[in-house]
Structure 1
Amino acid sequence: MTELYPVRRALISVSDKTGLVDFATALAGHGVALLSTGGTARALREAGLDVTDVSDVTGFPEMMDGRVKTLHPVVHGGLLALRDNDDHVASMEEHGIGAIDLVVVNLYPFEETVAKGADYAEVIENIDIGGPAMIRSAAKNHGFVNIVVDVEDYDVVLAEMGAHGGQTTYALRQRLAQTAYARTAAYDTAVSTWMAAQVSDTPRRRTFGGQLAQTLRYGENPHQAAAFYTDGSARPGVATATQHQGKALSYNNINDTDAAFELVSEFAGQGPACAIIKHANPCGVATGATLKEAYSRAFDCDRTSAFGGIIALNHELDEDTAREITGIFTEVVIAPGASDGAVRIFKEKKNLRLLTTDGLADASADGLAVKQVSGGFLVQDKDVGRIARDDLKVVTKRQPSEQEMSDMLFAWTVAKHVKSNAIIYVKDGATVGVGAGQMSRLDSSTIAATKAGRMAEDLGLSETTAKGSVVASDAFFPFADGLLAAAEAGATAVIQPGGSMRDNEVIAAADEAGLAMVFTGMRHFRH
């Protein structure tokens, strides 16, 4: 394989014209002949560059609204011909095919067109055909041809040409080819995923694509390599947030911050709310008259676990709340926005990361949840299930009070974001105990009650904060023991899906304990 190969002729056809003129001017300075199409050719001519239209080379005009312009043997022969193969060279000479040594293509903005909510016909028109074909041809022949699909690689190519007298190395061409194939794969993924949604079918083949956003120091543990990729979605969240200060986010930071923001986004359009997350589980969630109060109440659920946690807010971070948050060590704070005063206060804590998102995530928006397993991956709809008051069925003799009903709906919202088996104690719009990820529902119930009792001692209270609380269970109680543990801790009402073979026994136990209980008919397993 030829290590160094000269760039004599380039074909440039881009929708994103960032840096185009400077790059093309530099290529021309190396004596590279420029081929181009449509708007790209116009932009280069307006910059005073000498450009040959692809249509002049192929002998065919651009036609069918630009759908057909580069799909021609003169183009693809110039890309695919092996320069060290005598038969290929003879074919090029016989048919007047000139070699193309560099292709610069970025594709029609399909992802952006979908994101802006364009209609079906417009989306279809933004599916690029000629671009991916040229990219794949050039990438296949990377022994001789350079393929550039990202603006970020313009300077890399020019640096190599400058260092090697207008030539590039095989190593660079190989790396550019890999990037190119990943780009067309991600592009086809976006198209196929969109099409799957249009036909409302489970696709026979499913692909996922992403673009590198950050190389991470390591994964969950130091011995694991890791990186963060984005999928091009404009949905507010950790992937699209602005980081104002602090060191780069770690793998665990990103995972936990996402969990925190998804939870607090459930309270979009409502009063101030705060969620504090540790190891992807909430250790405190609360509402309040002010954001400061919401944070303080969430913090008072489990002050020990909150240390070194992630804080998510559903309103703009203000100075009072910022001052309160800086009272303990916190890894990340994420919010829709932050006042100038809050930003100034946080600057005193240089290791505290502050992220703003310019909005909350749409908690009701459809999407996919993906989990890798050995030999494949599981794909399911995101859990966007919600329960309204009218959906609840009271199954006990005692009817819940208005406050209990409100707290049960709050607890149910939180339960959706707690690892199964999940038990959540809530009082007056704030969690007072969270039991997560246990192998039995009884253990989760007991742990949550224990945390509530311990927190009451820390706060100097005479009785457990679980007294007078309500309890949410993410799935049904298979036995009455978990429910009775909650009653013993002081809970007065329970919200759960129902559906157990022993529902009647559980209802009877609730009646005997004087509890009010409602069924949702929906569960929220989270593994």
Structure 2
Amino acid sequence: MTDLKKMYSTLRGDSFPLEMTISFGDQTLVYRKKTWKIPQEDGTFDERGLRYGENPDQEAALYELVNGNLLLGNCTYIEPGNGLVSAISVEDMLQVGKHPGKINLTDVDNGLNIIKYLVDRPAAVILKHTNPCGAAIGSSLADAYNRANRCDRIAAFGGAVVTSRPLDKETAELMAQNYLEVVCAPDFEDGVLDILARRKNLRVIRMPGINHLAAFEQYRFVDFKSLIDGGIIVQQSAINSIRTPQDLKPAITTYKGVQYSCERQPTQREVEDMLFGWAVEHGITSNSVIYVKDGCTTAIGAGEQDRVGVAEIAIHKAYVKYADILCFDTHGIPYADLVLAIHQGKRDKADKEAIDAKVKNDRAGLPGSVMISDAFFPFRDAADVGIREGVTAILQAGGSIRDFESIQACNEAKPQVAMMYTGQRSFKH
């Protein structure tokens, strides 16, 4: 049997060429493979690219766009010289740990994809397998990171963190309490690296380009999907057009000659959460439904086949993660460890009963949340799932034949629930 643990610590060979050229008719884009000369434990240096791909038995390479200017339709595409993840240098790797793998970098990349809409505020996104575990804005970077981490402390274990602000000591101390794979920030204040160095294999990446991420909103890139038969699907990257309250649309529809409209309008706080939540949705695998409150995710459901199912899964996760954070706050251990200790006769079952009662009473912190869906609700069942848990507002794409049912669900709720449309969907596959 293959020693999988050894495979994870072994650098794969690299059969990919130093340069790659892609032609679009008479337009050519030139890419150069990225390698890093990284010191090894024996004092030597090893120059390699990516450690491996999605799995340790897959070779992989990272390429940076170095030449070419693509014009397709009326879109403006990113030009050479604007590299972020693909431009990471050895000097940017303030703590290397070991050569990065594909998943490390794609996690950081999708974190940038989300945080580019939040760079005007202290913000943090924690990701695992390209999906956010938690995302939040805050009064400070430490506040933003702490809120994002508390959304799902379990999934954040071994995750990648991207921040909108230079990392300070307070935030670094919070990060040091959990095991992370990657920390990426525009810069690091004095003393921060000493704190992060407690984790030997943590990759610490400085990315000054985060300070200019807002400019990336106006650009597109070419998105490739390779098929099993060697074919390629190519598309323009998605653009988030829901950036201000004025971009939101009222929930109004007509069905069989009857007009239906949502009777309650969202509050300013709910509108702000709608905009924040839609920015986070932009980086979540479809089908997705998330719940946000006060600029922080309260539950994230991603990558499911049906919309009501993902709405229910997000709520189930909220209850599990809420119990875990309560247990950690109260007893300093994960909820699963508490359950095991009770089973082994080492702890009083009253400890668990107290946590379970509070989770039930608080409804996992979901009341007051805004429910965000990356596409329309084909039936009212998904809206009903959120309403039962106390959401006060819903944002969805709109456009379903049965939009009137979701509107009715909001109007029938006691108290009534607000609903707005985006007029665009935010699928990501």
TM bracket (short chain): 0.7 to 0.9
Distance 2:99 2:224 in 1: 25
Q: 1:301 offset after TM fit, Å?
A: 0.7
Is the CA contact 2:241–2:247 (under 8 Å) kept in the aligned structure 1?
A: no
Is the CA contact 2:51–2:100 (under 8 Å) kept in the aligned structure 1?
A: no
Distance 2:52 2:27 in 1: 28
Alignment of 1:517 with 2:419, yes or no, is yes
Alignment of 1:247 with 2:98, yes or no, is yes
Partner deviation per Cα, 1:352-401 (whole Å, 9 max, x = no partner):
11111113232332222121123421222211222121121222101111
Is the CA contact 1:262–1:363 (under 8 Å) kept in the aligned structure 2?
A: no
Alignment correspondent of 1:210? 31
Task: Classify 1:212/1:399 alpha carbon distance in 2 versus 1 (closer, same or farther; 3 Å).
Answer: same
SS of 2:181's equivalent in the other structure is: strand
Alignment of 1:469 with 2:369, yes or no, is yes
Alignment correspondent of 1:450? 316
Distance 2:26 2:409 in 1: 49
Is the CA contact 1:420–1:525 (under 8 Å) kept in the aligned structure 2?
A: yes
Task: Classify 1:482/1:207 alpha carbon distance in 2 versus 1 (closer, same or farther; 3 Å).
Answer: farther
Count, aligned residues: 333
Alignment of 1:46-125 (within 5 A): none
SS of 1:343's equivalent in the other structure is: helix
Match of 2:85 among 208, 225, 238: 238
Task: Classify 1:330/1:484 alpha carbon distance in 2 versus 1 (closer, same or farther; 3 Å).
Answer: same
Match of 2:61 among 227, 233, 243: 227
Alignment of 1:290 with 2:140, yes or no, is yes
Distance 1:221 1:367 in 2: 26
Q: 1:318 offset after TM fit, Å?
A: 0.8
Distance 2:323 2:230 in 1: 49
Is the CA contact 2:106–2:130 (under 8 Å) kept in the aligned structure 1?
A: yes
Task: Classify 1:369/1:287 alpha carbon distance in 2 versus 1 (closer, same or farther; 3 Å).
Answer: same
Distance 1:335 1:226 in 2: 25
Is the CA contact 1:427–1:470 (under 8 Å) kept in the aligned structure 2?
A: yes
SS of 2:85's equivalent in the other structure is: coil
The one-letter amino acid paired with 2:137 is T
Alignment of 1:178-193 (within 5 A): 186=21, 189=22
The one-letter amino acid paired with 2:322 is A
SS of 1:298's equivalent in the other structure is: helix
The one-letter amino acid paired with 2:123 is A
Alignment of 1:372 with 2:226, yes or no, is yes
User: Gaps (5+ residues) in structure 1?
Assistant: 1-174, 193-202
CA root-mean-square deviation:
2.0
Q: 1:235 offset after TM fit, Å?
A: 2.4
Q: Which has the higher helix share?
A: 1
Alignment of 1:394 with 2:250, yes or no, is yes
Task: Classify 1:366/1:217 alpha carbon distance in 2 versus 1 (closer, same or farther; 3 Å).
Answer: closer
Alignment of 1:257 with 2:91, yes or no, is no
Partner deviation per Cα, 1:156-188 (whole Å, 9 max, x = no partner):
xxxxxxxxxxxxxxxxxxx9xx97xx75x63xx
Q: Percent of aligned pairs with the same residue?
A: 39
Is the CA contact 2:65–2:83 (under 8 Å) kept in the aligned structure 1?
A: no
Is the CA contact 2:240–2:279 (under 8 Å) kept in the aligned structure 1?
A: no
Task: Classify 1:307/1:368 alpha carbon distance in 2 versus 1 (closer, same or farther; 3 Å).
Answer: same
Q: 1:222 offset after TM fit, Å?
A: 2.2
Higher RCO (CA < 8 A, seq sep 6+): 2
Distance 1:419 1:511 in 2: 30
Distance 1:422 1:204 in 2: 36
Is the CA contact 1:240–1:357 (under 8 Å) kept in the aligned structure 2?
A: no
Distance 2:207 2:136 in 1: 21
Distance 1:322 1:313 in 2: 11
Match of 1:409 among 263, 275, 283: 275
Partner deviation per Cα, 1:324-352 (whole Å, 9 max, x = no partner):
10101000011111112112221222211
Task: Classify 1:301/1:441 alpha carbon distance in 2 versus 1 (closer, same or farther; 3 Å).
Answer: same
The one-letter amino acid paired with 1:505 is E
User: Which of the pair has more CA radius of gyration?
Assistant: 1
Alignment of 1:266 with 2:151, yes or no, is no
SS of 1:459's equivalent in the other structure is: helix
Distance 2:132 2:265 in 1: 29
- Report which stretch shifted further, 392-401 or 291-300: 392-401
Q: 1:275 offset after TM fit, Å?
A: 0.2
User: Gaps (5+ residues) in structure 2?
Assistant: 1-14, 36-48, 67-79, 252-261, 327-357
Alignment correspondent of 1:490? 390
Distance 1:455 1:244 in 2: 32
Alignment of 1:381 with 2:247, yes or no, is no
Alignment correspondent of 1:426? 292
Distance 2:187 2:219 in 1: 21
The one-letter amino acid paired with 1:237 is L
Is the CA contact 2:183–2:204 (under 8 Å) kept in the aligned structure 1?
A: yes
Q: 1:209 offset after TM fit, Å?
A: 4.0
Alignment correspondent of 2:191? 341
Instruction: Compute the TM-score of the two structures, normalised by the length of structure 2.
Output: 0.74
- Report which stretch shifted further, 346-355 or 292-301: 346-355
Distance 1:327 1:385 in 2: 34
Instruction: Compute the TM-score of the two structures, normalised by the length of structure 1.
Output: 0.60
The one-letter amino acid paired with 1:478 is P
Is the CA contact 1:393–1:520 (under 8 Å) kept in the aligned structure 2?
A: yes
Distance 2:196 2:322 in 1: 30
Q: 1:234 offset after TM fit, Å?
A: 2.8
Distance 2:123 2:84 in 1: 16
Alignment correspondent of 1:506? 406
